[in-house]
Chain A
Amino acid sequence: GAVVSQHPSRVICKSGTSVKIECRSLDFQATTMFWYRQFPKQSLMLMATSNEGSKATYEQGVEKDKFLINHASLTLSTLTVTSAHPEDSSFYICSAEISSSYNSPLHFGNGTRLTVT
């Protein structure tokens, strides 16, 4: 149980275009999902918290106009990287919670490796 599906797994796009990444909880409803970014050989940095039915909450320093998050349903959140540039190249990984409690782990998708040329 607690499967999170993330698509695409890899994407290459040209500078200036937009890319959409989907995150789905397959066997549970996820009111809240979290989006992380990971640079090579570094840790996961939380970008934003996505809550169904309301606006996303962005971490300090994350451009909300660059990284658009939409939590359309209890099983789907999307991250759109708008007007992508080479510095946006990174590994993006989403996660979902079954419970908001502090003792509940997050369940992660397999990540999306974005390369902007």
Chain B
Amino acid sequence: AQKITQTQPGMFVQEKEAVTLDCTYDTSDQSYGLFWYKQPSSGEMIFLIYQGSYDEQNATEGRYSLNFQKARKSANLVISASQLGDSAMYFCAMREGFSGGYNKLIFGAGTRLAVHP
């Protein structure tokens, strides 16, 4: 069964600094996708970045980058030049290539990021 682990319940960072949010995963599937979502206090889920299991290069989207270390089964999110608006809950999630049914998106416990001025 797939599993996502986020070990940092809370993180804080100074504005304009970079921060890394940790995520490790466990799967026996060779084909899978890793996703990061941001959830502000209003509740909506905002898709940030994706990394595929066969991708050799780390994904980047603007200030977001994903540090993908396949052998260690980690997919850490790096936010550069933090802004006050980055304060939110961040979830790491995974979809497996085949789960015997629908390709579910399973979430980790989340990390609450606070950006300080």
Contact = CB atoms under 8 A, between A and B. Distances in A.
Given A43-B110, A46-B104, A102 B33 contact: yes
B105 A95 contact: yes
A110 interface: yes
Contacts of A43: 91, 107-110
Nearest to A2: B47
A106 to B, nearest CB: 5
A9 to B, nearest CB: 8
Main secondary structure, interface of A, reads strand
Interface in A92-117: 93, 95, 97, 100-111, 113
B97 A49 contact: no
A105 B102 contact: no
Contacts of A113: 43
Contacts of B107: 43-44
Interface of A: 32, 34, 42-44, 46, 49, 51, 57, 91, 93, 95, 97, 100-111, 113
